[in-house]
Structures are given as structure tokens and as C-alpha cells.
Homo-oligomer: A and B are copies of this chain.
Amino acid sequence: MRLHFVLAESALEPVPEEIRRSPAVASDSRRRGVEPSRILLDRSFHHAAMERLEEGEKRGRPDLVHAALLSLTGTPLFLDGRMKLYVHTCQDIVLEIKEGTRVPKSYFRFRGLAEKLLAERPTEGLVKVYQAGVRELKRRIGPDLTIGLSMQGAPGTAEEVGRALAAADRPCVLVGGFPRGHFMPGTVRSADRLMRIHPRPLEAHVVSARVAYEVERASEMMND
């Protein structure tokens, strides 16, 4: 069993064209010496300019994507090469992360790396970058079971999700990589089952950590 973990519709993208000339982005660009087209959209810095963006409340949270990645790459499941990670962004770009790859723990280094990857889109190496929606990504992965985690899903526990995933041959899980709101209809349709693991909305890194842990527990029990 190898788990294919997708952070879906993640709030990770370069500053979009329409707000590149805004004061917040211009000053950020000067201060850092980085082209506006390359800077990551970040609500901490570009809040005022983001009001103009469509679906703005779901976007511009690279810190949240970073936290979710750290919660996953620190797990034995990932370190042992039994989890493959995909960051699918709200722009339908996928960062496919090879098993065991080290993701920078410092946010500064992560930001620099993400900016480079999104600008250069390498087609090979530890992180491959390509254009794909969730449906196309799922076709590439070819899972026999896909579970989406969502507040709109059926109530269950992380343990149930972990057991179902660990029992599959090629399981895939979708967790939203955005701060609020819901999956797009196309993402919902890509899931065989939609489940929620808690009555209250939890952050992506908390959900990710729990699901990875429960898949680990369930697969250990099956191997005993």
C-alpha cells in the first residue's frame, strides 16, 4: 500500500496579473528584490489588494500549505516512502513530491523554493510540476479508492478513514489546501466517498496529520 495524498485546490500561486501593480505587491517586490510575477500571493502582505480577487477568501495562504506539507513529510509513512504527495493548486498546477523528499522547514526557504518551482516548472527531479486539474491528476494516479475530506461529507472518524485507505491497493485522499470554503464540484465528483472527521472545521495540517497517522496505524495492524 502506498498512499497518494492530494492537497487539493491549495492556496498557493504567484500574485495574479490583476493585482501586480497594487502598492502592497510593489513594495513587497522592492523589499525582496523579486519580480511581482514570481512572488507568492500571501494574505499576510497583500490583504488589501486581495479584495478584488475572485474566490479571494480561499487564496493566498502559502503558510497554510507549508504547515500541511510539514505535518505530512514528518510522518514515518512519508519518510519510509509509503506516501506520495501532490500539491494541486487553485490554478490547476500540480507539484508532485517524490517520496521521502525534504521540504524546507523554514518558511523563508519554502517560499523561495515554491516561487522557483512555480516559475520554472521542472519536469523531472524531486518535485515535478505540471498543469492538471483534480480529475486529470486522479487519472494519472489511477487509485482504486479516493476519499475526500470535507465538512460536507458523511460523519466518520479519522480511524475509519485510515482503515478504509489502508485496505485499498492504491488509495488516494483529497484534503483541501485552502483556509475556508468548500471543494469545487469537480473535486467532489473525483471522490468515491466524501467524509468529515470532526463536527467542526479543522485546519488542513490537523486533518492531514490525523489521516496520515491513522493510515499508518491501520497498515501496521494489517501487517501484524
List A residues at the B interface (Cβ < 8 Å): 42, 44, 61, 63-64, 67, 70-71, 74-76, 79, 105-109, 158-159, 198, 200, 202-203, 205-206, 209-210, 213, 217
Contact = CB atoms under 8 A, between A and B. Distances in A.
A63 B109 CA distance: 11
25 contacts: A44-B106, A44-B108, A44-B109, A63-B105, A63-B106, A63-B107, A64-B105, A67-B70, A67-B105, A70-B203, A71-B71, A71-B205, A71-B206, A74-B203, A74-B205, A74-B206, A75-B202, A76-B198, A79-B200, A158-B213, A206-B209, A209-B209, A209-B210, A209-B213, A213-B213
Contacts of A107: 63, 107-108
Nearest to A70: B67
Nearest to A45: B108
A37 to B, nearest CB: 22
Nearest to A203: B74
Which of A75, A206, A210, A217 has most chain B Cβ within 10 Å? A206
Contacts of A206: 71, 74-75, 209
What is the count of identical protomers in the complex? Answer: 2
A48 to B, nearest CB: 16
Contacts of A63: 105-107
A46 to B, nearest CB: 12
Contacts of A75: 202, 206
A73 to B, nearest CB: 9
A109 B203 CA distance: 18
Contacts of A210: 209, 213
A213 B202 CA distance: 12
A213 B210 CA distance: 7
A71 to B, nearest CB: 6
Nearest to A202: B74
Which of A42, A64, A70, A75 has most chain B Cβ within 10 Å? A70
